[in-house]
Structure 1
Amino acid sequence: MDLERALNAFHSMKVNQLTPPCSQMPIVEEDSPIIDVLKLLRTRHHVWVVNNRKDMKLVGIIRYLDIIDIFLPPKGARLGAVSSVFKSILSGAEKAGDIMERNFLTINEDATVLEALEKMKRYKIQILALIDEEGKLKGEISLRILINEFLRLIRVGGG
Protein backbone atom coordinates (compact mmCIF):
# COMPACT_ATOMS: atom_id res chain seq x y z
CA MET A 1 0.00 0.00 0.00
CA ASP A 2 1.47 3.37 -0.95
CA LEU A 3 1.76 6.06 1.70
CA GLU A 4 -1.00 8.25 0.28
CA ARG A 5 -3.52 5.38 0.24
CA ALA A 6 -2.38 4.30 3.69
CA LEU A 7 -2.85 7.84 5.02
CA ASN A 8 -6.33 8.11 3.51
CA ALA A 9 -7.34 4.78 5.05
CA PHE A 10 -5.76 5.84 8.34
CA HIS A 11 -7.60 9.18 8.41
CA SER A 12 -10.98 7.57 7.88
CA MET A 13 -10.59 4.96 10.64
CA LYS A 14 -12.75 5.40 13.73
CA VAL A 15 -10.79 6.11 16.93
CA ASN A 16 -12.89 3.59 18.85
CA GLN A 17 -11.35 0.84 16.69
CA LEU A 18 -7.90 1.71 18.04
CA THR A 19 -8.46 2.43 21.71
CA PRO A 20 -7.36 -0.07 24.37
CA PRO A 21 -10.11 -1.59 26.52
CA CYS A 22 -10.89 0.44 29.65
CA SER A 23 -9.57 -2.47 31.73
CA GLN A 24 -6.06 -1.70 30.39
CA MET A 25 -6.29 2.06 30.92
CA PRO A 26 -5.01 4.01 33.95
CA ILE A 27 -8.29 4.87 35.70
CA VAL A 28 -9.08 5.79 39.31
CA GLU A 29 -12.26 6.91 41.02
CA GLU A 30 -12.60 10.49 42.26
CA ASP A 31 -12.33 9.37 45.89
CA SER A 32 -9.35 7.03 45.32
CA PRO A 33 -6.37 7.77 47.59
CA ILE A 34 -3.49 9.74 46.05
CA ILE A 35 -1.26 6.70 46.68
CA ASP A 36 -3.29 4.75 44.06
CA VAL A 37 -2.64 7.55 41.57
CA LEU A 38 1.09 7.55 42.32
CA LYS A 39 1.29 3.77 41.82
CA LEU A 40 -0.23 4.13 38.34
CA LEU A 41 2.03 7.05 37.45
CA ARG A 42 5.14 4.94 38.03
CA THR A 43 4.53 3.49 34.56
CA ARG A 44 2.03 5.90 32.96
CA HIS A 45 2.04 9.53 31.87
CA HIS A 46 -1.51 10.23 32.98
CA VAL A 47 -4.44 8.82 34.96
CA TRP A 48 -8.10 9.34 34.05
CA VAL A 49 -10.43 10.14 36.95
CA VAL A 50 -14.04 8.91 36.84
CA ASN A 51 -16.86 9.55 39.30
CA ASN A 52 -17.09 5.80 39.98
CA ARG A 53 -16.40 2.55 38.12
CA LYS A 54 -20.11 1.80 37.69
CA ASP A 55 -21.07 5.05 35.92
CA MET A 56 -17.60 5.73 34.41
CA LYS A 57 -18.39 9.44 34.00
CA LEU A 58 -15.13 11.22 33.21
CA VAL A 59 -14.45 14.03 35.69
CA GLY A 60 -10.71 14.71 35.39
CA ILE A 61 -7.18 13.80 34.44
CA ILE A 62 -3.97 13.74 36.45
CA ARG A 63 -0.84 14.13 34.35
CA TYR A 64 2.60 12.94 35.36
CA LEU A 65 3.99 16.48 35.71
CA ASP A 66 0.99 17.61 37.80
CA ILE A 67 2.33 15.46 40.63
CA ILE A 68 5.10 17.97 41.35
CA ASP A 69 2.47 20.19 43.04
CA ILE A 70 1.44 17.48 45.50
CA PHE A 71 5.01 17.00 46.75
CA LEU A 72 5.81 20.70 47.15
CA PRO A 73 4.87 22.61 50.28
CA PRO A 74 1.95 24.95 49.60
CA LYS A 75 2.97 28.46 48.60
CA GLY A 76 1.02 31.56 49.59
CA ALA A 77 -2.11 31.96 47.50
CA ARG A 78 -0.90 34.23 44.72
CA LEU A 79 -3.14 35.25 41.88
CA GLY A 80 -3.14 32.47 39.29
CA ALA A 81 -1.51 29.96 41.65
CA VAL A 82 -4.57 29.27 43.77
CA SER A 83 -5.36 25.89 42.20
CA SER A 84 -1.91 24.41 42.90
CA VAL A 85 -1.98 25.61 46.52
CA PHE A 86 -4.72 23.14 47.40
CA LYS A 87 -3.12 20.27 45.49
CA SER A 88 -0.29 19.80 48.00
CA ILE A 89 -0.49 16.86 50.41
CA LEU A 90 0.54 19.34 53.10
CA SER A 91 -2.58 21.41 52.30
CA GLY A 92 -4.79 18.40 52.86
CA ALA A 93 -5.02 16.85 49.39
CA GLU A 94 -5.85 13.18 49.96
CA LYS A 95 -7.89 11.91 47.04
CA ALA A 96 -7.63 11.87 43.25
CA GLY A 97 -10.45 14.42 43.08
CA ASP A 98 -8.35 16.87 45.13
CA ILE A 99 -5.49 16.93 42.65
CA MET A 100 -7.11 16.20 39.29
CA GLU A 101 -7.27 18.70 36.46
CA ARG A 102 -10.89 19.35 35.49
CA ASN A 103 -9.94 20.79 32.11
CA PHE A 104 -9.32 17.83 29.83
CA LEU A 105 -9.95 17.28 26.17
CA THR A 106 -12.34 14.69 24.84
CA ILE A 107 -13.50 13.41 21.51
CA ASN A 108 -16.63 11.48 20.63
CA GLU A 109 -16.07 7.74 20.46
CA ASP A 110 -17.32 7.74 16.84
CA ALA A 111 -14.82 10.36 15.63
CA THR A 112 -12.27 9.61 12.93
CA VAL A 113 -8.50 9.52 13.27
CA LEU A 114 -8.32 12.70 11.18
CA GLU A 115 -10.63 14.53 13.63
CA ALA A 116 -8.50 13.33 16.55
CA LEU A 117 -5.27 14.47 14.87
CA GLU A 118 -6.75 17.89 14.09
CA LYS A 119 -7.84 18.34 17.72
CA MET A 120 -4.43 17.23 19.03
CA LYS A 121 -2.69 19.75 16.76
CA ARG A 122 -5.10 22.60 17.60
CA TYR A 123 -4.64 22.16 21.37
CA LYS A 124 -1.02 20.89 21.28
CA ILE A 125 -1.82 17.75 23.25
CA GLN A 126 -0.94 14.09 22.78
CA ILE A 127 -3.95 12.30 24.27
CA LEU A 128 -7.74 12.54 24.13
CA ALA A 129 -10.39 10.78 26.17
CA LEU A 130 -13.05 8.99 24.13
CA ILE A 131 -16.48 9.60 25.56
CA ASP A 132 -20.04 8.76 24.61
CA GLU A 133 -22.98 11.20 24.54
CA GLU A 134 -23.41 10.89 28.33
CA GLY A 135 -19.79 11.74 29.13
CA LYS A 136 -18.85 8.17 29.98
CA LEU A 137 -15.22 7.22 29.43
CA LYS A 138 -15.02 4.72 26.58
CA GLY A 139 -11.31 4.76 25.83
CA GLU A 140 -8.37 6.96 24.96
CA ILE A 141 -6.51 7.83 21.82
CA SER A 142 -2.92 8.99 21.97
CA LEU A 143 -0.28 9.97 19.49
CA ARG A 144 1.59 6.78 20.42
CA ILE A 145 -1.45 4.63 19.56
CA LEU A 146 -1.84 6.50 16.25
CA ILE A 147 1.84 6.06 15.34
CA ASN A 148 1.67 2.33 16.06
CA GLU A 149 -1.49 1.94 13.99
CA PHE A 150 -0.06 3.84 11.03
CA LEU A 151 3.11 1.71 11.10
CA ARG A 152 0.94 -1.43 11.26
CA LEU A 153 -1.09 -0.20 8.27
CA ILE A 154 1.92 0.40 6.04
CA ARG A 155 3.56 -2.88 7.13
CA VAL A 156 0.44 -4.91 6.42
CA GLY A 157 -0.22 -3.11 3.13
CA GLY A 158 3.40 -3.03 2.01
CA GLY A 159 4.14 -6.65 2.85
Structure 2
Amino acid sequence: MLVSKIMQTELVLADMESDFVTLLCKISNLSPRQIYVVDDQLKLQGIITGYDLLKVVLPEYIDSNLLRSIRDQKIDDYLLKCIDHIKEKKASEIMVRDFTYLKETDHAMEAEALIVEKRINALPVLDENGKILGEVHRRDILNYIARLCCK
Protein backbone atom coordinates (compact mmCIF):
# COMPACT_ATOMS: atom_id res chain seq x y z
CA MET A 1 0.00 0.00 0.00
CA LEU A 2 1.23 3.49 -0.83
CA VAL A 3 2.19 5.95 1.90
CA SER A 4 -0.47 8.34 0.52
CA LYS A 5 -3.16 5.85 1.59
CA ILE A 6 -2.05 5.53 5.22
CA MET A 7 -0.52 8.92 6.07
CA GLN A 8 -2.02 11.28 8.62
CA THR A 9 -2.74 14.77 7.29
CA GLU A 10 -3.57 16.59 10.53
CA LEU A 11 -0.18 17.95 11.54
CA VAL A 12 1.16 20.38 14.10
CA LEU A 13 3.09 23.14 12.35
CA ALA A 14 5.24 26.00 13.57
CA ASP A 15 7.31 28.68 11.92
CA MET A 16 11.02 29.32 12.42
CA GLU A 17 10.35 32.17 14.88
CA SER A 18 8.11 30.21 17.26
CA ASP A 19 9.59 30.41 20.76
CA PHE A 20 10.22 27.59 23.21
CA VAL A 21 7.06 28.17 25.28
CA THR A 22 4.88 28.21 22.15
CA LEU A 23 6.48 24.97 20.98
CA LEU A 24 6.08 23.38 24.41
CA CYS A 25 2.38 24.27 24.47
CA LYS A 26 1.88 22.87 20.95
CA ILE A 27 3.60 19.58 21.75
CA SER A 28 2.17 18.90 25.20
CA ASN A 29 -0.92 17.08 23.91
CA LEU A 30 0.61 15.38 20.88
CA SER A 31 1.33 11.81 20.05
CA PRO A 32 4.01 10.91 18.89
CA ARG A 33 5.06 14.41 19.85
CA GLN A 34 6.42 16.02 16.69
CA ILE A 35 6.17 19.55 15.39
CA TYR A 36 6.98 20.33 11.78
CA VAL A 37 8.72 23.67 11.22
CA VAL A 38 7.71 25.09 7.85
CA ASP A 39 8.14 28.25 5.80
CA ASP A 40 5.32 30.31 4.25
CA GLN A 41 4.92 27.78 1.39
CA LEU A 42 4.70 24.85 3.88
CA LYS A 43 8.13 23.64 2.81
CA LEU A 44 9.57 21.57 5.65
CA GLN A 45 12.56 23.25 7.30
CA GLY A 46 12.97 21.04 10.34
CA ILE A 47 11.38 18.75 12.92
CA ILE A 48 11.06 19.21 16.67
CA THR A 49 10.26 16.30 18.97
CA GLY A 50 9.60 16.22 22.68
CA TYR A 51 13.14 14.95 23.11
CA ASP A 52 14.52 17.99 21.27
CA LEU A 53 12.68 20.32 23.65
CA LEU A 54 13.80 18.42 26.73
CA LYS A 55 17.43 18.56 25.59
CA VAL A 56 17.46 22.37 25.69
CA VAL A 57 15.84 22.65 29.14
CA LEU A 58 18.49 21.14 31.40
CA PRO A 59 22.21 21.88 31.15
CA GLU A 60 24.31 18.90 30.05
CA TYR A 61 26.08 18.66 33.39
CA ILE A 62 22.84 17.80 35.22
CA ASP A 63 22.53 14.06 35.71
CA SER A 64 20.13 11.77 37.55
CA ASN A 65 22.38 11.48 40.62
CA LEU A 66 22.44 15.23 41.11
CA LEU A 67 18.67 15.47 40.67
CA ARG A 68 18.08 12.67 43.21
CA SER A 69 19.91 14.73 45.80
CA ILE A 70 17.53 17.67 45.43
CA ARG A 71 14.04 17.82 46.94
CA ASP A 72 11.00 17.91 44.63
CA GLN A 73 10.08 21.57 45.14
CA LYS A 74 13.69 22.64 44.62
CA ILE A 75 13.78 20.66 41.37
CA ASP A 76 10.64 22.45 40.17
CA ASP A 77 12.14 25.82 41.10
CA TYR A 78 15.36 24.93 39.29
CA LEU A 79 13.42 23.73 36.25
CA LEU A 80 11.49 27.00 36.07
CA LYS A 81 14.78 28.93 36.22
CA CYS A 82 16.18 26.79 33.40
CA ILE A 83 13.09 27.43 31.29
CA ASP A 84 13.30 31.15 32.01
CA HIS A 85 16.80 31.14 30.47
CA ILE A 86 15.70 29.42 27.25
CA LYS A 87 12.08 30.56 26.81
CA GLU A 88 13.05 32.94 23.99
CA LYS A 89 14.90 30.22 22.07
CA LYS A 90 13.41 29.92 18.58
CA ALA A 91 12.31 26.85 16.63
CA SER A 92 15.15 27.54 14.19
CA GLU A 93 17.63 26.99 17.06
CA ILE A 94 16.00 23.80 18.37
CA MET A 95 14.82 21.94 15.27
CA VAL A 96 16.58 19.05 13.58
CA ARG A 97 17.42 20.11 10.03
CA ASP A 98 18.77 16.78 8.82
CA PHE A 99 15.73 14.55 8.53
CA THR A 100 14.55 11.58 6.53
CA TYR A 101 11.26 11.83 4.69
CA LEU A 102 8.87 9.84 2.55
CA LYS A 103 7.18 10.51 -0.78
CA GLU A 104 3.50 9.78 -1.36
CA THR A 105 4.48 7.03 -3.79
CA ASP A 106 6.65 5.11 -1.33
CA HIS A 107 5.29 1.81 -0.03
CA ALA A 108 4.22 1.48 3.59
CA MET A 109 6.86 -1.17 4.21
CA GLU A 110 9.58 1.17 2.87
CA ALA A 111 8.36 3.59 5.54
CA GLU A 112 8.66 0.88 8.19
CA ALA A 113 12.19 0.01 7.07
CA LEU A 114 13.23 3.67 7.36
CA ILE A 115 11.57 4.02 10.74
CA VAL A 116 13.50 0.99 12.01
CA GLU A 117 16.80 2.14 10.45
CA LYS A 118 16.53 5.67 11.85
CA ARG A 119 15.14 4.53 15.22
CA ILE A 120 12.24 6.98 15.11
CA ASN A 121 8.46 6.66 15.37
CA ALA A 122 7.22 8.82 12.50
CA LEU A 123 8.32 10.27 9.18
CA PRO A 124 7.07 13.30 7.28
CA VAL A 125 5.66 12.90 3.78
CA LEU A 126 6.80 15.57 1.31
CA ASP A 127 5.94 16.42 -2.27
CA GLU A 128 8.58 16.95 -4.96
CA ASN A 129 9.05 20.59 -3.83
CA GLY A 130 9.56 19.75 -0.15
CA LYS A 131 6.05 20.81 0.90
CA ILE A 132 4.75 18.77 3.81
CA LEU A 133 1.69 16.65 2.99
CA GLY A 134 1.41 14.39 6.01
CA GLU A 135 3.22 11.97 8.25
CA VAL A 136 3.37 8.22 8.72
CA HIS A 137 3.58 6.74 12.23
CA ARG A 138 4.42 3.21 13.26
CA ARG A 139 0.79 2.79 14.28
CA ASP A 140 -0.34 3.64 10.72
CA ILE A 141 1.85 0.84 9.42
CA LEU A 142 0.59 -1.55 12.09
CA ASN A 143 -3.00 -0.70 11.15
CA TYR A 144 -2.19 -1.42 7.49
CA ILE A 145 -0.66 -4.82 8.41
CA ALA A 146 -3.63 -5.63 10.66
CA ARG A 147 -6.05 -4.89 7.82
CA LEU A 148 -4.13 -7.36 5.65
CA CYS A 149 -4.11 -10.10 8.28
CA CYS A 150 -7.44 -9.65 10.04
CA LYS A 151 -9.84 -9.73 7.11
Provide the TM-score with structure 1 as the length reference: 0.70
* Residues 109 and 141, structure 2, Cα contact 8 Å, conserved in 1: no
Query: After superposition, where does 1:8-19 map in structure 2 within 5 Å?
Result: 13-19=1-7
Quick check: 1:126 aligned with 2:121?
A: yes
Quick check: 1:148 aligned with 2:134?
A: no
Report the Cα distance in structure 1 between the residues aligned to 2:148 and 2:95, rounded to whole angstroms: 36
Aligned partner (choices 28, 40, 62) of residue 42 of structure 1: 28
Number of aligned positions between the proteins? 128
Q: How far did residue 154 of structure 1 move?
A: 3.4
Report the Cα distance in structure 2 between the residues aligned to 1:36 and 1:149, rounded to whole angstroms: 34
* Residues 127 and 133, structure 2, Cα contact 8 Å, conserved in 1: yes
| Residues 30 and 145 of structure 1, relative CA distance in 2, 3 Å threshold | same
Q: How far did residue 98 of structure 1 move?
A: 1.7
* Residues 57 and 86, structure 2, Cα contact 8 Å, conserved in 1: no
- Unaligned 5+ residue runs, structure 1? 1-12, 76-87
Quick check: 1:99 aligned with 2:94?
A: yes
Aligned partner (choices 56, 69, 74) of residue 55 of structure 2: 69
Q: How far did residue 48 of structure 1 move?
A: 1.1
* Residues 20 and 86, structure 2, Cα contact 8 Å, conserved in 1: no
Aligned partner (choices 121, 135, 150) of residue 130 of structure 2: 135
Letter in 2 for 1:59: Q
Letter in 2 for 1:104: F
Q: How far did residue 19 of structure 1 move?
A: 1.2
Q: How far did residue 91 of structure 1 move?
A: 5.8
- Unaligned 5+ residue runs, structure 2? 62-82
Letter in 1 for 2:21: I
For residues 115-135 of structure 1, the C-alpha deviation after alignment (integer angstroms, 9 at most, x for no partner) is: 112222222222111011111
Letter in 2 for 1:115: E
